[in-house]
């Protein structure tokens, strides 16, 4: 049994799905978003790129200092001057600092996003609305808050669906106005490499259960495929439609069950790990009570690499989110703390609450062995 890492996909499952294009409304309506127009694309960065194609005569943007290192890339390619507003250890923007950055930098576009399934933007939403009333354009990235009840007032909403489901690609753009220049072609090389990685992992996990054999080479092969796929995505700045693979799989997704499992898994993790928390050792920056479905459950821990290694030896894989973007030249202390100390605990629909207990027990073992000592 392995917990975490890339998704696995049974390639036979798409043989039983009708080869018809999924309507964007299938996703959007279930998530309670209301926009005039929408478009399914190949990735979250494609969604941002397409949004920026709709925006003209704007050249200054404000982004969160804690963000995926690929979020700012479309802005940089478009020639935007980029500034970053600080994010605190509690994953919330400092409202006074946010307003100060708007006043001093005078952005024309602001991109915001919440973190790990919670509306961490609640304290600045009124300020966002003021910015819009003054002529500013707002893009909200809901990649980490996909199942959160909509608070959206943004002009554009973007999301990377491929982070949530076992699909090789997928994202969407929602717009308050008609979307121009919707993509007409699909990615090939990236999708094929990713599809092979996902389906090979499926085969690998099934063989682990059935055989007493060394499958390490097989594992390294599909992981290498995944890395190559991401490299291909990084190299291609064009905007593409979502693939047929992803469209057909999304047609079968049970959104309510997916949300329920994530919410329950996050609650179990929180209730099991929170009693173990001590400042300077282990900390959970967000509370999970079973009412929110996060992408991951974030945890702060010193000696992060040692903890990762400890968990990896137990077949539990905790990613770092994210690398620091090369374009961030100034960093506030609190945001730097997130980058340097946070790991993401998987809680997705592949796993049960029993699996979450295995994670909790591993954390307990790590503490018992003195691993948290600085």
Residue 198's nearest CA partner among 155, 162, 149 is: 162
Do 21 and 151 belong to one domain? Answer: yes
Relative to beta strand 109-113, strand 81-85 is: unpaired
Identify the CATH number of the domain in which residue 348 sits.
3.90.1150.10
Q: Model confidence over 4-37: pLDDT tens digits?
A: 999 999 988 776 666 555 566 666 666 667 788 9
Q: For residue 373, tell me if it sits in a domain.
A: no
Q: Model confidence over 31-74: pLDDT tens digits?
A: 667 788 999 999 999 999 999 999 999 999 999 999 999 999 99
Q: Model confidence over 198-246: pLDDT tens digits?
A: 999 999 999 987 777 789 999 999 999 999 999 999 999 999 999 999 9
> What is the mean pLDDT of the segment spanning 359-367?
96
| pLDDT confidence band for 190 (50 / 70 / 90) | very high
Do 26 and 170 belong to one domain? Answer: yes
Query: Which of 144, 175, 206 is the last residue before a domain boundary?
Result: 175
Given this model, what pLDDT does residue 24 score?
62
Q: For residue 245, tell me if it sits in a domain.
A: no
Do 262 and 157 belong to one domain? Answer: no
Q: For residue 202, tell me if it sits in a domain.
A: yes
Q: Model confidence over 271-325: pLDDT tens digits?
A: 999 999 987 789 999 999 999 999 999 999 988 999 999 999 999 999 999 999 9
Given this model, what pLDDT does residue 18 score?
60
Count structural domains, the chain. Answer: 3
Do 149 and 281 belong to one domain? Answer: no
Q: Model confidence over 325-345: pLDDT tens digits?
A: 999 999 999 999 999 999 999
Q: For residue 240, tell me if it sits in a domain.
A: no
Do 59 and 82 belong to one domain? Answer: yes
Per-residue pLDDT for 267 more than 50? yes
**Do the beta carbons of residue 367 and residue 276 sit within 8 Å?**
yes
Question: Angle 154-157-161 (CA atoms, 0-180°, nearest 5)?
Answer: 155
What is the rounded distance in angstroms from the CA atom of residue 269 to the CA atom of residue 284? 10
Name the least confident of 53-67, 91-105, 138-152. 138-152
What is the rounded distance in angstroms from the CA atom of residue 245 to the CA atom of residue 333? 43
Do 83 and 167 belong to one domain? Answer: yes
Do 19 and 158 belong to one domain? Answer: yes
Q: For residue 138, tell me if it sits in a domain.
A: yes
Q: For residue 181, tell me if it sits in a domain.
A: no
> What is the mean pLDDT of the segment spanning 260-269?
98
Which domain range does residue 293 map to? Answer: 255-368
> What is the mean pLDDT of the segment spanning 69-86?
95
Name the least confident of 76-80, 180-184, 209-213, 304-308. 209-213
Percent of the chain with pLDDT strictly greater than 70? 94
pTM, two decimal places: 0.95
Given this model, what pLDDT does residue 374 score?
46
Q: For residue 2, tell me if it sits in a domain.
A: no
**Do the beta carbons of residue 282 and residue 309 sit within 8 Å?**
no
Identify the CATH number of the domain in which residue 157 sits.
3.40.640.10
Given this model, what pLDDT does residue 32 score?
66
Do 136 and 262 belong to one domain? Answer: no
Q: For residue 136, tell me if it sits in a domain.
A: yes
Do 36 and 168 belong to one domain? Answer: yes
269-276: which pairs have CB atoms within 8 A and are 24 or more residues apart?
269/297, 269/345, 269/347, 269/356, 269/359, 269/360, 270/297, 272/356, 272/357, 272/359, 272/360, 272/363, 273/299, 273/360, 273/363, 276/363, 276/364, 276/367
> What is the mean pLDDT of the segment spanning 105-116?
97
Per-residue pLDDT for 78 more than 50? yes
Do 20 and 161 belong to one domain? Answer: yes
What is the rounded distance in angstroms from the CA atom of residue 54 to the CA atom of residue 101? 25
Do 312 and 259 belong to one domain? Answer: yes
Q: Model confidence over 292-306: pLDDT tens digits?
A: 999 999 999 988 999
Given this model, what pLDDT does residue 173 score?
95
Alpha helices in 274-349 (DSSP H): 304-312, 333-341
Do 231 and 282 belong to one domain? Answer: no
Given this model, what pLDDT does residue 13 score?
75
DSSP tag of 122: G
Given this model, what pLDDT does residue 20 score?
55
């Amino acid at each position: 049994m392995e917990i975490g890492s890339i998704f696995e996909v049974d390639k036979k499952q798409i043989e039983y799905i009708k080869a018809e294009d999924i309507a964007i409304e299938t996703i959007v309506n279930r998530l309670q978003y209301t926009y005039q127009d929408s478009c399914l694309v190949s990735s979250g960065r494609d969604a941002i790129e397409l949004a920026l194609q709709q925006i003209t005569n704007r050249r200054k943007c404000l982004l969160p200092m804690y963000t995926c290192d690929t979020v700012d890339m479309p802005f940089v390619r478009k020639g935007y001057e980029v500034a970053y507003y600080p994010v605190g250890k509690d994953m919330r923007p400092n409202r006074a600092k946010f307003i100060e950055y708007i006043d001093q930098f005078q952005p024309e576009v602001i991109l915001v996003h919440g973190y790990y399934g919670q509306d961490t933007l609640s304290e600045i939403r009124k300020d966002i609305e003021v910015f819009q009333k003054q002529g500013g354009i707002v893009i909200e990235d809901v990649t980490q808050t996909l199942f959160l009840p909509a608070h959206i007032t943004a002009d554009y909403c973007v999301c990377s669906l491929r982070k949530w489901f076992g699909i090789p690609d997928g994202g969407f753009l929602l717009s308050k106005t008609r979307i121009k220049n919707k993509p007409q072609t699909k990615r090939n090389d990236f999708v094929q490499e990713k599809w092979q990685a996902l389906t090979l992992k499926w085969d690998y996990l099934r063989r682990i259960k059935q055989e007493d054999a060394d499958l390490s080479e097989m594992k390294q092969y599909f992981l290498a495929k995944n890395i190559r796929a991401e490299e291909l995505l990084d190299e291609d700045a064009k905007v593409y439609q979502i693939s047929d693979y992803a469209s057909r799989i999304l047609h079968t997704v049970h959104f309510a069950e997916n949300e329920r499992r994530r919410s329950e898994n996050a609650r179990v993790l929180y209730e099991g790990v929170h009693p173990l928390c001590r400042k300077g050792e282990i900390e959970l920056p967000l509370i999970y009570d079973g009412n929110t479905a996060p992408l991951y459950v974030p945890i702060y821990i010193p000696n992060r690499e040692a903890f990762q290694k400890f968990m990896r030896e137990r077949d539990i894989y905790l990613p770092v989110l994210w690398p620091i973007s090369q374009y961030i030249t100034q960093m506030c202390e609190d945001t730097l703390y997130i980058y340097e100390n946070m790991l993401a605990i998987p809680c997705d629909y592949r796993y049960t609450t029993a699996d979450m207990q295995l994670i909790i027990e591993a954390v307990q073992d790590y503490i018992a062995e003195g691993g948290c000592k600085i």
